[in-house]
Amino acid sequence: MPASSAIDAALLRTWPLPLPEGGDKHARGSIFVVAGAPQMPGAAVLCATATLRAGAGKLQIGTCASVAAHVATAVPESLVVALEEMPSGAIALASAATIVERANKADALVIGPGLVDERASARLIAAVARELDVPAVIDAAALACFSDSADAIARLRGRAVLTPHAGEMASMLSCEREAVEADPVAFAADAARRFNAVVALKGETTYVAEPGGALYRNEHGNVGLATSGSGDVLAGVIGGLLARGAEPLAAAAWGVFLHARAGDVLAKRIGFGFLARELSAEIPKLMGELCV
């Protein structure tokens, strides 16, 4: 079994987060978030808000046309792009060119939170990844592309962060969920090598692996984080850090730690019934405490 190092404050201070040079929002980093569906517009809201709480300065959101106005109202700090959708609620493959154009003008992309129809989402990701030139967080239904296309993000050459839970990892590697849960260390390390990407395998202990073999574990957090929308927030925090200029491994480790510690703060103040939407507001203070 590969050895893992603990993700803690001491480790993260060896990977200081980039600070903006200049005084405008572009200097802080721009992010394009592709998320949400008619069934789950809130996923786009949660993810996008988290990117800003992580320090990104400019936000654009691509979501299904039928819910674009609602998302724009919920996240007034954003520019929202209405994307063509399918009857299933999936973003149509015809939107791939728009996504690529917007993403490549930004500093990072997050894609996947709240997307539906895994087959359609897999085709969309494959088409986008072939033309993508910026780091990306790939989450939720978007991860379905890896079950058929191990090289789907080859163009990114290690600049992607994949954020599966055990079930999604099992689908990606065509194995049983129970096998992943029994040996998450081995599966996280294998996926990082196979897909040439940083992998954050979410669970009671979250393991962050990078293609070169380094492996880290996060043991912070609590059961309150096992709530609807929590993963959308995590993807957004990691994406916001990528947009700021953090390297993929550092962005993943910082994001996992900040998300978990936000859960600890809320559990102490509220109890385990906190909401995913409450996590993002804790991120700036926690970052500030670590960045002194």
pLDDT band at 292 (very low <50, low <70, confident <90, very high): low
pTM of the model: 0.97
Secondary structure of 95-123 in the HEC alphabet?
HHHHHHHHHHCCCEEEECCCCCCHHHHHH
Digit-coded pLDDT (tens) for 153-173: 888 899 999 999 999 999 999
Report domain 28-290's class: alpha beta
Torsion of CA 33, 37, 39, 45, to 10 degrees: 20
- Residue among 43, 82, 90 at smallest CA distance from 65: 82
What H or E segment, with its residue span, contains residue 59? Answer: strand 58-64
Q: What is the pLDDT of residues 116-130, one digit of tens each?
A: 999 999 999 999 999
For residue 106, the one-letter residue type is: A
CA dist., res. 131 & res. 22, Å (int): 30
Residue 236 has pLDDT above 90, yes or no: yes
Domain segments of the chain as ranges: 28-290
| 70, 111, 228, 231 from 44: Cα distances, Å | 10, 10, 13, 11
Name which of 11, 49, 45, 53 is nearest 28 in CA terms.
53
